[in-house]
């Protein structure tokens, strides 16, 4: 047992990277510590209050027979509670907190009390609805909820050592394995999640039945006749091994792809792995927003066609960005390739982090890339998948920053932290990482303790970091290859200092010409952070009349009023004079009346934290006549 890890790949045959426990990466200062403390102190409690206030927890008491009344909300509401349990458990793994633990254990008790004698657990399908259990697999999310319970119970067990919830999960998983399988009923869930949870339950218990069940549930998709409707929306249009285009409901697809990668790594079945990679190429090479957001369409919360990436009507559900992050994580574990870590970082700093307000108490479900000022974060949703999803991801973030492998330590994303890990084949490595990343590209790694054998330190060099250098004492490697890990092998010793320098110039990004919505537009990135223009920084200006001057140098300026977001980019752009409300809708192009205008671009993740107003990521480029 390696502590509270996110994904227990220690015994996974196909894993090239092994996990580190959350408490092996102790955040200290920097971008993340305060942000995660906010989630811990504010967000988790606000979410628990919402779970109470909306009756989601009461549903368990009702199912246990402890209270009367109707079921509250929607049939998938249990899953919100489970994701919060997962988040709270991860938090306790690094930060003891008796008050939070009390809340958590109370919820865990409520969950356990609702389990039925046969192991079934779903508070919606109780009493008069009990006869509808497992009746509508396509739409009713019973295994989806079960999957989240399993994930929560594993996190709870790893973090607290208590089996209460794990035993509940095992009984439910056994019930599912008995009910659905090659020798019993053919079926799977319309909303994927159970598959990846079953794999992790296998990793936790080493009981092979759960892995086999995951394979069975995956193989049930795309059957004739279909078991969950047969539509692309449910990724049920083809057997999973034959799926290569990311289509349908985006969150479903990402969870499916996670399980494909998981199963491939555990079983060595290449068909699943090939599908997980092909789908990733489809999603990330042709259907992903520059923010890492996935899902172009509101209709079906779904992927669009290749290069169909509208800005204002982007769906880009927070959960889909998180699902994409989890998916890329699995491919990173299986391949060690930097592109997957880079996709995770892009999603993390942009498409995911935008889902949470800077005060930690409000959420985006959809994450458009432009807006007229109406899209605002909400304290909760009727369908509240996103809030606890972002909480569980951020509470487990330390587990995603670092991996180990034979005689090697891998740093995927840089954060100020004390890293204290056992490197297989070598021994304990302790080091202090200091960085103002993503605001600054200097990362200092001070070795505090190292074994007396060579260890390779793999430092990820982002693809945008042309000119990056790595210095160890007086030994400097200039212009290290980008989009790859830079491996430094030596027998490290206490007192060694490694300094990584990632050039952090502001970059103009253009989209593939087939992305019709971005013709004549560029996005601004600095490091991994996508920026945007907000009305709040341009009072008196019509945001849609502003344009980038591609010759402009951008400067970093300190920014007040956005907690946790101290920097903005400032540069001279232009404003068109023929963009007012009286200008004709359609007209012969006239010589442009450009005037200089000072532009301020803030990180996309920080948008909509001030007065409501327009926002745009993709900005017109000033063109000469």
> Any contact of residue 313 with a copy of itself (CB under 8 A)?
yes
Q: Contacts with a copy of itself: how many residues (CB under 8 A)?
A: 54
With contact defined as beta carbons under 8 Å apart, do 25 and 401 qualify?
yes
Question: Packing angle between helix 78-94 and helix 142-160, nearest 10 degrees?
Answer: 20
Asked if 585 is part of the footprint of a copy of itself (rule: CB under 8 A), the reply reads: yes
Interaction of residue 540 with a copy of itself, rule CB under 8 A? no
Q: Which residues of 350-374 are buried (b: 16+ CB within 10 A; e: fewer)?
A: bbbbbbbbbebbbbbbbbbbbbeee
- For residue 346, give the H/E element and its range: helix 338-346
Show the binding pattern over residues 351-380: x = contacts a copy of itself (CB under 8 A), - = does not.
-------------------x-x--------
CA distance 427 to 45: 38
320 in contact with a copy of itself (CB under 8 A): no
Cβ nearer to a copy of itself, comparing 387 with 573: 573
Rg (CA), the chain: 24
Phi/psi at 443 (nearest 5 deg)? -125, 120
> Looking at 7-15, 391-399, 475-483, 572-580, which segment touches a copy of itself (CB under 8 A)?
572-580
Question: Taking CB under 8 A as the rule, does residue 458 contact a copy of itself?
Answer: no
Q: Which of 418, 509, 556, 570 binds a copy of itself (CB under 8 A)?
A: 509
Q: Which stretch binds a copy of itself (CB under 8 A): 72-80, 192-200, 233-241, 310-318?
A: 310-318
Is 341 among the residues that bind a copy of itself (CB under 8 A)? no
Distance of alpha carbon 275 from the chain centroid: 20
**For residue 566, what are its two tokens?**
């101290």
Name the one range near a copy of itself by CB under 8 A: 38-46, 326-334, 402-410, 584-592: 584-592
**Cβ 414 to a copy of itself shortest distance, Å:** 22
Could you give phi then psi for residue 47, rounded to 5 degrees?
Answer: -70, -40
406 binds a copy of itself (CB under 8 A): no
Give 529's strand partners: 526
Nearest-angstrom CA–CA distance, 539 and 535 = 6
Per rule CB under 8 A, is residue 520 in the interface with a copy of itself? yes
Name the residue nearer to a copy of itself (CB basis): 184 or 550: 550
Taking the least distance from each CB to a copy of itself, the nearer of 560 and 585 is 585
CA distance 342 to 373: 30
Least CB distance to a copy of itself at residue 372 (A): 6
CB of 258 to a copy of itself, least distance (A): 22
**Other CB atoms within 10 Å distance of the CB of residue 269:** 16
Q: Kindly state whether residue 523 participates in binding a copy of itself, applying the rule CB under 8 A.
A: yes
Render 265-317 in DSSP notation, one character per residue.
Answer: HHH--HHHHHHHHHHHHHHHHHSB-TTS-B--BTGGGB--STT---STT----
Q: Which is nearer to a copy of itself, 185 or 514 (CB)?
A: 514
Binding range to a copy of itself, per CB under 8 A, among 92-100, 270-278, 360-368, 586-594: 586-594
Q: Find tokens 């930097």 and name the residue.
A: 338
Contact in structure between 519 and 527 (CB atoms under 8 Å) = no
Two tokens, residue 170: 């095992």
Residue 210, CB-side half-sphere exposure with 13 Å CA sphere: 25
Window 272-291: contact mask with a copy of itself (x via CB under 8 A): ------------xxx-x-x-
Please pick, from the candidates 96, 98, 117, 513, the single residue that binds a copy of itself as defined by CB under 8 A: 513
Site stretch for a copy of itself (CB under 8 A), options 53-61, 185-193, 208-216, 309-317: 309-317
Residue 175 binding a copy of itself, by CB under 8 A: no
* Span near a copy of itself by CB under 8 A; candidates 79-87, 314-322, 383-391, 616-624: 616-624
Q: Which long-range CB contacts under 8 A does 163-171 form with residues at least 24 apart?
A: 164/108, 164/109, 164/112, 165/85, 165/108, 165/111, 165/112, 166/204, 168/111, 168/112, 168/115, 168/121, 169/201, 170/201, 170/205, 171/115, 171/119
Of 105-113, 184-192, 242-250, 300-308, which segment contacts a copy of itself by CB under 8 A? 300-308
What SS3 state is found at 51? Answer: helix
Asked whether 171 and 262 are in contact (CB, 8 A), the reply is: no
- To a copy of itself, the closest distance from the beta carbon of 504 in angstroms equals 14
DSSP symbol at 378 = B
Window 550-569: contact mask with a copy of itself (x via CB under 8 A): x-------------------
Q: Which stretch binds a copy of itself (CB under 8 A): 211-219, 311-319, 377-385, 602-610?
A: 311-319
Q: Are 621 and 551 in contact (CB under 8 A)?
A: no
Q: Assess 514 for contact with a copy of itself (CB under 8 A).
A: yes
Binding residues for a copy of itself, per CB under 8 A? 284-286, 288, 290, 298-299, 305-308, 310-313, 370, 372, 464, 507-517, 519-523, 542, 544-545, 550, 576, 578-579, 581, 583-589, 616, 620-621, 623-624
């Amino acid at each position: 047992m390696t502590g509270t890890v996110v994904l227990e790949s220690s015994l996974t045959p196909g894993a090239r990277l092994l996990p580190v426990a959350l408490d092996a990466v102790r955040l200290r200062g920097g971008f993340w510590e305060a942000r995660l403390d906010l989630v811990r102190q504010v967000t988790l409690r606000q979410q628990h209050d919402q779970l109470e206030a909306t009756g989601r927890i009461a549903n368990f008491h009702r199912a246990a027979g402890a209270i009367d009344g109707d079921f509250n909300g929607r049939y998938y509401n249990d899953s919100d509670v489970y994701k919060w349990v997962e988040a709270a458990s991860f938090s306790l793994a690094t930060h003891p907190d008796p008050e939070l633990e009390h809340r958590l254990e109370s919820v865990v008790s409520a969950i356990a009390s609702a389990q039925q004698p046969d192991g079934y657990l779903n508070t919606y399908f109780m009493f008069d609805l009990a006869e509808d259990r497992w009746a509508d697999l396509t739409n009713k999310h019973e295994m989806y909820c079960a999957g989240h319970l399993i994930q929560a119970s594993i996190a709870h067990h790893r973090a607290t050592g208590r089996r209460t919830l794990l035993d509940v999960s095992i009984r439910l998983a056994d019930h599912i394995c008995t009910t659905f399988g090659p020798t019993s009923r053919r079926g799977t869930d319309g909303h994927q999640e159970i598959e990846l949870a079953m794999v992790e339950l296998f990793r936790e218990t080493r009981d092979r039945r759960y892995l086999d069940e995951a394979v069975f549930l995956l193989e049930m998709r795309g059957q004739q006749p279909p078991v969950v409707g047969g539509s692309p929306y449910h990724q049920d249009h083809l057997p999973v091994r034959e799926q290569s285009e990311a289509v349908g409901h985006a969150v479903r697809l990402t969870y499916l792809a996670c399980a494909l990668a998981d199963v491939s790594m555990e079983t060595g079945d290449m068909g699943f792995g090939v599908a997980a990679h092909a789908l990733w190429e489809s999603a990330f090479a042709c259907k992903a927003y520059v923010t890492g957001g996935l899902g172009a369409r509101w209709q079906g919360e779904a992927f669009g066609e290749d290069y169909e990436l509208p800005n204002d009507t982007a769906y880009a559900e927070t959960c889909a960005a998180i699902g994409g992050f989890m998916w890329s994580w699995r491919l990173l574990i299986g391949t060690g390739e930097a592109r997957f870590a880079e996709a995770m970082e892009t999603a993390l700093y942009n498409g995911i982090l935008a889902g949470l307000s800077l005060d930690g108490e409000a959420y985006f479900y959809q994450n458009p890339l432009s807006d007229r000022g109406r899209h605002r974060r909400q304290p909760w949703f009727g369908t509240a998948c996103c809030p606890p999803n972002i909480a569980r991801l951020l509470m487990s973030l330390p587990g995603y920053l670092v991996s180990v492998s034979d005689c090697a330590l891998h740093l995927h994303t840089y954060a100020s932290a004390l890293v204290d890990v056992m490197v297989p084949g070598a021994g304990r490595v302790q080091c202090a990482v200091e960085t103002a990343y993503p605001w600054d590209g200097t990362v200092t790694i001070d070795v505090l303790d190292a074994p007396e054998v060579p260890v390779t330190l793999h430092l990820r060099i982002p693809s945008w970091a042309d000119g990056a250098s790595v210095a160890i004492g007086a030994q400097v490697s200039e212009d290290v290859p980008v989009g790859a890990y830079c491996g430094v092998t030596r027998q490290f010793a206490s007192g060694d200092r490694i300094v990584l320098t990632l050039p952090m110039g502001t970059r103009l990004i253009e989209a593939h010409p087939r992305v019709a919505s971005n013709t004549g537009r560029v996005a601004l990135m600095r490091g991994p952070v996508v920026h945007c223009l907000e009305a709040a920084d341009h009072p008196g200006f019509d945001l849609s009349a502003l344009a980038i001057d591609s010759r402009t140098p951008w400067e970093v300026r300190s920014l007040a009023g956005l907690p946790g977001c101290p920097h903005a980019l400032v540069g001279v752009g232009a404003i068109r004079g023929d963009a007012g409300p009286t200008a004709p809708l359609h007209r012969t192009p006239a010589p442009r009346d450009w005037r200089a205008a000072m532009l301020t671009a803030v990180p996309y993740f920080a948008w909509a934290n001030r007065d409501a107003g327009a926002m745009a990521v993709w900005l017109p480029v000033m063109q000469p006549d």
